[in-house]
Chain A
Amino acid sequence: MIELFNVFLMSMLIITALAMVSSRHLFVTVMLSGFFSLLIAAIFLLLDAADVALTEAAVGAGISTVLFLGALALMDVEETVRGEKWIRIFSLFVVAVTTLALVYAAFEQPAFGDPNAPIHQHVAPWYIQHVPIHMDIPNIVTGILGSYRGYDTLGEVFVVFTAGIGVLSILGDPVKNRRQRVVKKAGLRHYLIPRLVGRTLIPFIVLFGLYVQFHGEYSPGGGFQAGAIIAAAIILFAILEGEDQALKIIPMRGLYFLMASGALLYAGVGVATMLMGGRFLEYGVLADTMVAGQQWGILLIEAGVGMTVTGVLLTIFHAFAARSNL
């Protein structure tokens, strides 16, 4: 039964993808891509990847859609020009070659779900076995993410950070941009129902975000998802009440600070472990016992991730909004 549902979702996925690409209306494309993200998140969930599903839903359906819409507000939403014929033929050729390579690779792969596949024999079992011993938390994904591959996650935080300062650098300071343009719209302040519903929802969203943040060791979630959710709450607030209000709550300087301090908190934990005689990000030295140290470390770095992600997403949102009268 589950298989059948899976096949259904997969087929929907392909159909949605085709529709996305072929639609000439960019608005439709963007909405479809949000839908696509939800579908693929569902598939991830079926494939036992709860954390990934949550992230994909928050990012793909949420953040990415908002960004695209923010950008589209500035542009023609019609795709007017079709590529020349030779480009299309060339593209088809390149794509065909790649496909052939992938098909060629297919037949000597382990079958789907095969428990004897190499990846289930090496490294991963070690993680499953050792997470309870080393850090005693239920969510193995969090354990790997935060500690065994904590350096990757540090890199990930800095990727996000880079995107934040990148957008700022490319689009310019939102506050200044808003001053230069005449931005009349003050959110949806004059629409009572959305405002009412929205305002009641926002505290719950924030609460949910905090739960995801601090419960990441036990259930799906963690700093990144939490950051995305909290940012979404504030973005919602900005849409309802207007950007200026949102910027009053957390001004740009505060966002800078949030971005930087999140990243610094993460890296700082690493430096602290170094100073305390361990290796970089070796949380074990943070407390008396290995397990306690690991838990402290993961908690702290997840907080850092959450701060940076919230800061960056809000910054990006403001930067786009200041350009596009959203």
Chain B
Amino acid sequence: MNMIDHLPALQVIVPLISAPFCILMRNHMLAWAVAVVASGAAFSLAILSMGFVSDGATLTYAMGGWEAPYGIALEIDAFSALLTVIISGASLLALLAGAASARQQLVDEKQPLFFSAWLLALAGLLGITITADAFNIFVFMEISSLASYVIIAAGPHRKALGAVFKYLVMGTIGATFYLIGVGLIYMMTGTLNLEDIALRLNDVSDQRPIFVAAGFITIGLALKAAVFPLHVWMPNAYNYAPHIVSAFIAACATKVSLYVMMRFDFMVFQPNLVGHEFQFSYFFMPLALIAILSGAVVAALSRDLKRLLAWSSVSQIGYIVLGASLTTEAGLTSAIAHMFNHALAKGGGFLIAMGAALYYTTTRFSNLAGLGKEHPWIAAAFVVIGCSLIGVPGTAGFISKWLLVSAALEQGALGVLIISVVVLSSLLAVVYVWKVVELFYFAPRPEGGSSDVMQVRKPEMLLYMLVLGLVAGANIWFGIMPGEPLALAGQAAQALLGGSL
């Protein structure tokens, strides 16, 4: 077999295999290097497979040589390719930028364990994205969740522990709900392969268990995706995680759950359940609207940069869910495009928090005042990324907002409500972003501020600035040239509505 044929398998296996190597590294720099190399490899593979699927093809792989539904099949289509790029890209960039931050927040000897868990989280997320098997999704979901608990719990503040425990309990409930749903489906169809399920559900006349299964799966995944009001675990988990972890997890983790949810609801249930479309729509749309507003309000009231960003995520996830809840092609395209654009903006936001904390130890506003004078480039990058969060034209965030509003316009009267909520929350985003901009540029440095608490090594800093520049640049680049992600998003939306896997 040609190595290219193994692409889907390699995508998961490379980071997976690198994880055990990581703990065998005695030196923390080596462990970091292993993680960087593995992430880099995963990222290149993701880009490669994106090239293969961009013309509408799908890459499939039968694990162990057993064809589905008897074996486990892997599958990369436009949607999953986009997700793999987001995930591996977030991991690579966060790792590259975070070398100094990891040294600041983590004990050296724990770093091999930490980076090993990091790679497992990466492999888990990639595994969920690529597999086409309902139970395999569960297994990899657990790898990624357990690994995420570990790397979040590495946060130096004791509040991280409470946050992780909450995350663990809610995450496990979510996963178990998912398992119940899959069990009910399996009971009625006898198969676990997603495509096969969709096919065989056609013949199932008893819809009640399927209906309940849809409920359990959707709610379980919504829990993992931090969809309002199931988001309670998320702000603290993001806030108290080590900065390097926030940058990674916030960019991609919840999106993977949303991805699975959208696949199930649109590909499996939609064609086979009567009225599923409306139920999905009426269930999620109000929640999304409330999430968009409440997340933005809390963010606007925050006094800490990371907390602000975490709550802004609640609101931004609302956008994705809102787009999906329109259940139209335009709506889904906007949702999927926003996954990508939000990853850019939010990953970048947490990178800023990371850089700020390098110099001022915490991300509390009182500490960050006047950052712009001492570190003009970090502040400038925040302006760009903040604009993307608001959705200023010329940035990536604008593209998704445009798509969402266009999609809402198709809805008639309901669209007006949606647009007004989106507009209102954009204004709130202006408030919370500009609060920080003013803080950076106009507030005076606190007297005797704890400046330069750790010795920052030159190469690490250079790497950080490079990555930050790259992310900020990408926010602009994809605001002006969104062709590639948009094309993938459009394809993905068509595939979702086409009902074929």
Contacts and interface: CB of A to CB of B under 8 A. Distances in A.
A256 B149 CA distance: 20
A120 B184 CA distance: 14
A261 B209 contact: no
Given A105-B212, A105-B213, A274 B6 contact: yes
A326 to B, nearest CB: 22
B9 interface: yes
Interface string B52-73: 0000000001111110011110
Interface in B22-41: 23-24
A156 B139 CA distance: 7
B13 interface: yes
Contact of A123 (B70, B146, B150): B70
Contact of A162 (B17, B72, B150, B200): B150
Nearest to A109: B209
Contact of A152 (B17, B69, B136): B136
B70 A159 contact: no
Contacts of A161: 19-20, 120
A108 B207 contact: yes
B155 to A, nearest CB: 11
A107 interface: yes
A166 B113 CA distance: 8
Contacts of A282: 64-65
Contact of A279 (B64, B188, B204): B64
B17 A169 contact: no
Given A108-B206, A279-B1, A147 B66 contact: yes
A31 B206 CA distance: 42
Contacts of A108: 206-209
Given A109-B209, A119-B186, A170-B153, A148 B70 contact: yes
Nearest to A166: B150
Contacts of A10: none
Q: A interface, how many residues as a size bin?
A: 35 or more
Given A152-B139, A282-B65, A105 B184 contact: yes
Interface in B153-188: 153-154, 184, 186-188
Contact of A105 (B17, B64, B211): B211
- The bracket for how many chain B residues form the interface is 35 or more
B190 A121 contact: yes
A247 interface: no
B23 A260 contact: yes
B88 to A, nearest CB: 17
Contact of B71 (A149, A163, A173, A261): A149
Contacts of A122: 69, 189-191, 200
Contact of B120 (A158, A271, A281): A158
Contacts of B62: 279
A108 B127 CA distance: 34
A90 interface: no
Interface string B88-116: 00000000000000000000011001101
A267 B212 contact: no
Contacts of A278: 1, 65
A259 interface: yes
Contacts of A123: 69-70, 190-192
Looking at A108, A126, A165, A259, the one whose CB has the most chain B CB atoms below 10 A away is: A165
Given A101-B216, A147-B66, A165-B150, A152 B72 contact: yes
Contact of B23 (A121, A127, A156, A256): A256
Given A148-B71, A158-B120, A161-B120, A120 B190 contact: yes
A74 B23 CA distance: 28
B79 interface: no
A206 to B, nearest CB: 25
Given A158-B19, A162-B150, A279 B61 contact: yes
B107 to A, nearest CB: 9
Nearest to B8: A280
Contact of A159 (B1, B146, B213, B215): B146
Contacts of A105: 184, 208-209, 211-213
B240 interface: no
Contact of A107 (B21, B23, B150, B208): B208
Interface string A98-117: 00011011011110000001
A147 B189 CA distance: 22
B13 A270 contact: yes
Contacts of B216: 101
A169 B150 contact: yes
B17 A264 contact: yes
Given A122-B190, A279-B64, A152 B135 contact: yes
A149 B72 contact: yes
A257 B1 contact: no
B398 interface: no
Given A108-B209, A162-B117, A281 B63 contact: yes
Contacts of A151: 63-64, 71-72, 136
Nearest to A121: B190
Contacts of A127: 70
B123 interface: yes
B131 to A, nearest CB: 8
A260 B21 contact: yes
B143 interface: yes
A265 to B, nearest CB: 10
B332 interface: no
Given A166-B146, A166-B149, A280 B20 contact: no
Interface in A116-150: 117-124, 126-127, 130, 147-150
A155 interface: yes
A283 interface: yes
Given A162-B120, A165-B113, A279 B20 contact: no
B142 interface: yes
A261 B20 contact: yes
B52 to A, nearest CB: 17
B16 interface: yes
Contact of B64 (A124, A267, A281): A281
B147 interface: yes
B16 A118 contact: no
A277 interface: yes
Contacts of B191: 122-123
Contacts of A188: none
B156 to A, nearest CB: 13
Given A119-B187, A158-B19, A169 B114 contact: yes
Task: Report, nearest first, the 4 A-B pairs whose CB atoms are least far apart.
Answer: A108-B206, A122-B190, A282-B65, A105-B212
Interface of B: 1, 6, 9, 13, 16-17, 19-21, 23-24, 61-66, 69-72, 109-110, 113-114, 116-117, 120, 123, 127, 133, 135-136, 139-140, 142-143, 146-147, 149-150, 153-154, 184, 186-192, 200, 204, 206-209, 211-213, 215-216
17 contacts: A108-B207, A117-B187, A122-B189, A158-B19, A158-B143, A162-B147, A165-B120, A166-B149, A256-B23, A264-B17, A278-B1, A279-B9, A279-B62, A279-B64, A279-B65, A280-B9, A280-B63
Given A158-B120, A170-B153, A264-B21, 19 more contacts: A104-B208, A107-B208, A108-B207, A108-B209, A118-B189, A120-B190, A122-B69, A149-B71, A152-B72, A159-B142, A161-B19, A166-B146, A166-B149, A170-B150, A267-B16, A268-B17, A271-B17, A279-B62, A280-B6
